[in-house]
Structure 1
Amino acid sequence: MTNLLWITAIAVALVSTPVTKKNLSASANEPAAVSTTRTNYSKGKWIKLFDGKTTNGWKTYAKDSIGGAWKVQDGMLYLDSKAKKEQKLGGGDIIHEKSFGNFHLKLEWKISKNGNSGIIFWAQNDPSKYKAVWHTGPEMQVLDNGGHPDAKIRKHRAGDLYDLIEGPDTAVKPVGEWNKTEIIAKDGTLELKLNGVTTVKTSYGDEIWYSLIGNSKFKTMAAFGRTFSGHIALQDHGDDVWFRNIQIREL
Structure 2
Amino acid sequence: MKRSIFSLMTVILCLLSISYSYAQKAADEAGFTSLFNGTNLEGWVGNKTSYLAQDGMIVIDPKGTGGGNLYTEKEYGDFILKFEFQLTPGGNNGLGIHAPLEGDAAYVGKEIQILDNTAEKYAELHEYQYHGSVYGVIPAKRGYLKPVGEWNEEEVIVQHPKIKVILNGTTILEGDYLEASKNGTLDGKDHPGLQRHMGHIGFLGHGDVVRFKNIRIKELK
TM-score (norm 2): 0.78
Distance 1:148 1:47 in 2: 37
1:219 aligned partner: 189
Alignment equivalent of 1:94, drawn from 70, 77, 80: 70
Q: Do residues 210 (structure 1) and 181 (structure 2) align?
A: yes
TM-score (norm 1): 0.69
Runs of 4+ in structure 1 off by over 6 angstroms are none
CA RMSD of aligned residues (A): 2.1
Report deviation, 1:146.
1.4
Q: Do residues 196 (structure 1) and 177 (structure 2) align?
A: no
Residue 68 of structure 2: SS of its match in structure 1?
coil
Alignment equivalent of 1:145, drawn from 111, 117, 128: 117
2:16 aligned partner: none
Distance 2:208 2:109 in 1: 21
Report deviation, 1:81.
2.6
Tell me, yes or no, if the aligned pair for 2:93 and 2:203 is still in contact at 8 Å.
yes
Distance 1:171 1:219 in 2: 28
Distance 1:218 1:58 in 2: 32
Q: State percent identity of aligned pairs.
A: 34
Q: Do residues 46 (structure 1) and 15 (structure 2) align?
A: no
Tell me, yes or no, if the aligned pair for 2:90 and 2:119 is still in contact at 8 Å.
yes
CA deviations over 1:207-245 (Å, ceiling 9, x no partner): x24337x22336334x22111111101011000010111
Which range is displaced more, 179-188 or 226-235?
Answer: 179-188
Residues 186, 215 of structure 1: CA spacing in aligned structure 2 closer, same or farther, 3 A cutoff? closer
Alignment equivalent of 1:79, drawn from 60, 69, 81: 60
Aligned residues: 190
CA deviations over 1:172-220 (Å, ceiling 9, x no partner): 1111111111110125421111111111111244xx24337x2233633
Residues 168, 210 of structure 1: CA spacing in aligned structure 2 closer, same or farther, 3 A cutoff? closer
Alignment equivalent of 1:247, drawn from 192, 216, 220: 216
Residue 108 of structure 2 aligns to which amino acid in structure 1?
T
2:154 aligned partner: 181
Q: Do residues 229 (structure 1) and 198 (structure 2) align?
A: yes
Structure with higher strand content? 2
CA deviations over 1:117-164 (Å, ceiling 9, x no partner): 111111023x3xxx2323322122111111153343212111222222
Query: What residue ranges of structure 1 are gaps of 5+ in the alignment?
Result: 1-43, 61-65
Residue 132 of structure 2 aligns to which amino acid in structure 1?
G
Distance 1:137 1:243 in 2: 21
Structure with higher helix content? 2
Higher-Rg structure is 2
Residues 235, 188 of structure 1: CA spacing in aligned structure 2 closer, same or farther, 3 A cutoff? closer
